[in-house]
Amino acid sequence: MPLPEWIQKHLDAYLATDGSDGHMFDTTAVGGPGPIPCLLLTTTGRKSGNPSVLPLIYGESEAGPVIVASKGGAPDHPVWYLNLEANPSVEVQILGEKFSARARTVEGNERQTLWDQLAQLYPPYNDYQAKTSREIPVVVLEREG
C-alpha cells in the first residue's frame, strides 16, 4: 500500500539528505507543536517479507530511541507495529547514522514514564489515546551489536 504523499515526501527528503532535511519534522500541519525529531524505521513485512521504511517521531531513553504506535488513535495497531511484533529485528536511521536494533514493547511503569516523555514532546498522543480503547504501544529500539 503506498504511503500518503506527505509521508512519502518526508521519507524521500530524509533519505536524500541523510536526515538533514527531515530529521526535524514540522508537525504544525498535523496538529503538533512544531519541529520534532524523526527517525527512519525499517521493518520486515510479516506477510510479504519485504522491507518497509517509515519516518516516525522519536524520543530518547537510556535503552535507546523510543517510538509510539499511535496510528492517530485508530482502533487497530499500525502495520509497522504488527510487523515488528512478528519480527522485532529492525533497522533504524537517525540523521546519517544507521544501526540494527531489537524492538521491545514496554509495559507498566516503564511504559508510563516513556509515554509521558513522548506525550510531552508531541501532545496529540494524549488525544490519540483518548480516541481509542486499545493501549497505544510504546516501543524502545535497543541497539544490537
pLDDT tens track for 83-115: 999 999 999 999 999 999 999 999 999 999 999
Q: Strands 138-143 and 24-26, how do they pair?
A: unpaired
Q: Please give the average per-residue pLDDT across 26-44, as a whole number.
A: 90
Query: Does the domain at residues 5-143 carry the CATH identifier 2.30.110.10?
Result: yes
Q: Please give the average per-residue pLDDT across 44-62, as a whole number.
A: 95
Confidence of residue 30 (pLDDT cuts 50, 70, 90): confident
**pLDDT higher than 70, residue 62:** yes
Neighbours of 42 (CB within 10 A): 19
Closest CA to 21 of 40, 41, 2, 43: 40
Does this model's pTM top 0.85? My answer is: yes
